[in-house]
Structure 1
Amino acid sequence: MSSSVRISIRHFLWFAYSLPCFALFSCVGLSLLKDFEKSTRTHCKVFNFLPSISASIGDCEPQRYIWRLCFALDSIPRYVVAYLQLIRLLNRHHILLQELYPLVQITNSCIHFLELTFLLILTYISSNEIKWIHESSFVGFMICSLLHMLITVLIDYFWPRTINYRLSDQERMVRAKRLRWFVINITSFFISIYFYFRHNEFCEPNIYSMYCLFEYFVVLTNIAYHSVIMDEWDHQGGQIQIFY
Structure 2
Amino acid sequence: MPNVANFLPTISAAIGGFSPQNYVWRICISLVAGIRLMMAFSYYQWHLRVNMGLYHLLYKRLVMFAVLCYVIENIALVTLTSVSSTDNFSIHENSFIVFMVCSLIYMLLSCCLIKWSHLSGAYKVTPTDVRHFHMKTFLFVFNISVFLFSVYLYFRHNAYCEPYIYSWFALGEYLTVLSNIAFHGFCCIDFSQYSFALVPTEDVQTGKFKN
Q: Identify the residue that residue 238 of structure 1 maps to in structure 2.
A: 195
For 1:201 and 1:135, how far apart are their aligned partners in 2? 19
SS at 2:162 equivalent = coil
* 2:182 matches 1:211: no
TM-score by length of 1: 0.76
How much has 1:162 moved relative to structure 2? 4.5
* Change over 3 Å in CA distance of 1:225–1:242 after alignment to 2: farther
* Offset from partner CA, 1:206-244 (integer Å, 9 cap, x none): 11000000100000000101111222222x14243388x
User: Contact conserved, 1:112 with 1:144, CA < 8 A, in 2?
Assistant: yes
Whole-Å separation in 2 of the counterparts to 1:86 and 1:182: 19
Choose from 23, 33, 44 the match for 1:65.
Answer: 23
> Which one of the candidate residues 115, 125, 130 is aligned to 1:157?
115
CA distance in structure 2 between the partners assigned to 1:162 and 1:185 by the alignment: 27
Bigger relative CO (Cα 8 Å, ≥ 6 apart):
1
Query: TM-score, normalising length from structure 2?
Result: 0.87
Residue 140 of structure 1 is matched in structure 2 by 98
Spell out the pairing of 1:84-103 with structure 2 (5 A cutoff): 84-93=42-51, 97-103=55-61
Indicate the residue corresponding to 1:130 in structure 2: 88
The residue aligned with 1:178 is 136
Which one of 117, 141, 145 corresponds to residue 187 of structure 1? 145
Aligned length: 200
Distance in structure 1 (CA, Å) of the matches to 2:54 and 2:190: 21
C-alpha RMSD over aligned residues: 2.0
Structure 2, unmatched stretches of 5+, are: 201-211
Counterpart code for 2:127: D
The separation in 2 between residues aligned to 1:112 and 1:45, in whole angstroms, is 39
Unaligned runs of 5+ in 1: 1-42
Secondary structure of the residue aligned to 1:167 is coil
Say which structure is richer in strand: 1
Sequence identity, in percent? Answer: 35
Instruction: Report if the CA contact (8 A) 1:181-1:225 is conserved.
Output: yes
**In structure 1, C-alpha distance between the alignment counterparts of 2:80 and 2:161, rounded to whole Å:** 26
Q: CA deviation at 1:71?
A: 0.7
Instruction: From the superposition, tell whether residues 217 and 163 of structure 1 become closer, same or farther in structure 2 (CA, over 3 Å).
Output: closer
Q: Is the 8 A contact 2:80 2:91 kept in 1?
A: yes
Q: How much does 1:94 deviate?
A: 5.6
Which residue does the alignment assign to 1:7? none
Aligned to 1:25: none
Do the aligned residues in 2 keep the contact of 1:114 with 1:141 (CA within 8 Å)? yes
